[in-house]
Amino acid sequence: MEIIAITTGDPAGIGPEITSKAIRFLKLRKKIIFIVYGKLNLFNDGNPVVKIDNVKKATSPEKIYWIEIGDNIKLGKPSAESGKIAYDILSRCANDLNSELLAAVVTAPVSKDAIRHTKPNFIGHTEFFATSSNTTNVIMSFWGPYFNLSLLTTHIAVSDVSQYLKSNSLKPKFRLIYRETNKMIENPKIAMLAVNPHAGENGAFGNEDQLIASVLKELEEEDIYIDGPYPADTFFATKATSYDMIISAYHDQGLIPFKMISADEGVNVTLGLPFIRTSVDHGTAYDIAGKGIASEKSLLQAISFAEKMISKSEEITNNNYGIFAEYYDNYMKHVGYEEWVDFILSQYNKICSKSPDRILELACGSANVSSLLVKKGLEVDASDISAEMLKIASNKPFSPNLKLQKMTDELPKCKYNLTLLLFDSLNYLHNLNEVELLLNNVHNTLVEKGIFIFDITTPKNCERHFNGFINIEQIKDDLFIHESDYESSDNTQISKLTFFKKKGFLFARYDEEHKQKIFRVSDLLEQINSTELTLKGIYCIDHEENLIDHNPKILESNFSRLFFVLEK
């Protein structure tokens, strides 16, 4: 079992907020435990968080642990006190790292200025962890979707860069970058940017690039191949996409283009430490601290990167609805959610002659149905496999209690009067064995006489509306393309979603593929009959008639969507 630490950074900045948001719906894995060091603003739902005072008390990957450090201080106002707390958080974490109790640390931002009130020699995270672990050679690197970057120098004045570029210091840095990049990318292509304009024009202005070229030539004898140095002004326009790692001589030379196009998808990784260290690529953002609007995306990227470095073999769940979540509510605004809620409650009342005391919605998405149920004063828990959808759900005025969970995960015993699975979510199960598992789990979580309502899309709906379907929409500055095809031979519908999101001057492309199994009604009826659930009715939402006695083939050919009502 490996442990990843998350430090919350300066308590006056956005670190506690983005950490709280990041861990709320963080996907927990079997072989990794998370411990937060610092301050948190806990939510009432999401992952369970347990306070501990010692890292050795963190034993279960099914929980997130928290070592609280520091008192509450005023948000948005950096001070000597906030700097001291940020430093204490780092020191406590560093002690556990150096004692080999932790495998990795993910850091939220700190203020170097605030820390220097009490620790005048503090330069930054990179230098702090290097010093605390007695590591002499480290590299600040940045990993993103478009290119990866390593810095030969870190937080120093531009006027001091030349004196740091000496032959005896360059070789160890190039070796480290080459070795560490090879750990993450097989046979990487690496390039070095020139220090001076036009690579110095053969010494016409500056000799640094001639020195770098000679060092790179010497390293070829060690089978270390790094191209360059290339003039930086043309490199990003002509060559950047041909390389797996780009080496920048100083901080802003490479980080300006990196941050411009990678935005909140970039991850800061310190190479050379005896442990893994990743970080966000942004600052403390005091101006928005405490306003609830800070984005946790970069921190989530940093956590994910640390996970992959630790456990490359562990399967990462398909991130469907990772991008689509942002557009989902706008795309589904035609759905009559109020009508669906009225139908559900009327079915429950018809059978039970009362309103449900406690409701669970599986695969709730952005919780449009659950929110309406909460608005009616009902107690609702809701879960989904997409953290992005849950985040959107959490921001709704009548949000239910939310949890990150697959629809087939084990559920608590005898807890709910009514369980829901809507918007053809069942079609995302790909075989009848998964359907059986779902039905048994739902049976176990229902109280006696509890009700389960789910719906499916039918072959008719797929053939008429989604076979050869193409839709293109522009949403603000972004472009969204939806393509669907229905394969009748194996009853499978494939939807391909392509997103072009505007980022600065560029557009970034993202792709998702959604695969649905279009189950035959007869197969589902057989599966239901094999469980301890009793089928009470089959309905189309705009027909009052109970269709339970109709021929399954007629149901499939006459209706686009069918609702099944089951009782325990």
pLDDT at 315 over 70: no
Q: Is the pLDDT of residue 39 over 80?
A: yes
CATH superfamily of 464-517: S-adenosyl-L-methionine-dependent methyltransferases (2.20.25.110)
CB atoms within 10 A of CB 419: 26
Residue 477 reports pLDDT greater than 90: no
The string of pLDDT tens digits covering residues 137-155 is 999 999 988 899 999 987 7
Q: How many CB atoms lie within 10 A of CB 389?
A: 26
pLDDT tens readout for residues 536-562: 999 998 888 999 999 999 998 899 999
At 197 the pLDDT is: 86
Query: Which has more pLDDT, 338 or 153?
Result: 338
- Residue 40, pLDDT > 60, answer yes
Distance CA(109)–CA(11), nearest Å, equals: 10
- Decide whether 325-460+518-567 matches 464-517 in CATH topology: no
Distance CA 495, CA 299 (A): 30
Among 317-331, 458-472, 515-529, the minimum mean pLDDT is found in 317-331
Going from N- to C-terminal start, the domains of the chain cover 1-135+273-316, 137-271, 325-460+518-567, 464-517
Q: Tens digits of per-residue pLDDT, 365-414?
A: 999 999 999 999 999 999 999 999 999 999 999 999 999 999 999 999 99
State which amino acid sits at residue 536: K
Whether the pLDDT of residue 293 is over 70: the answer is yes
Query: What pLDDT is attached to residue 5?
Result: 97
pLDDT at 59: 94
CATH homologous superfamily of domain 137-271? Isopropylmalate Dehydrogenase (3.40.718.10)
Quickly state the pLDDT bin for 259 (edges 50, 70, 90).
confident
Q: What is the mean pLDDT of residues 335-344?
A: 94
User: What pLDDT, on the 0 to 100 scale, is given for residue 206?
Assistant: 79
Structurally, at CATH architecture level, domain 1-135+273-316 sits in: 3-Layer(aba) Sandwich (3.40)
Written as one string, the DSSP assignment of 163-223 is HH--HHHHHHHHHHHHHHHHHHSSS--EEEE-SSGGGGGTTTT-SHHHHHHHHHHHHGGGT
Query: What's the pLDDT score for residue 316?
Result: 47
Task: Find out if CATH 3.40.50.150 is the number for domain 325-460+518-567.
Answer: yes
Per-residue tokens: 380: 């609702």
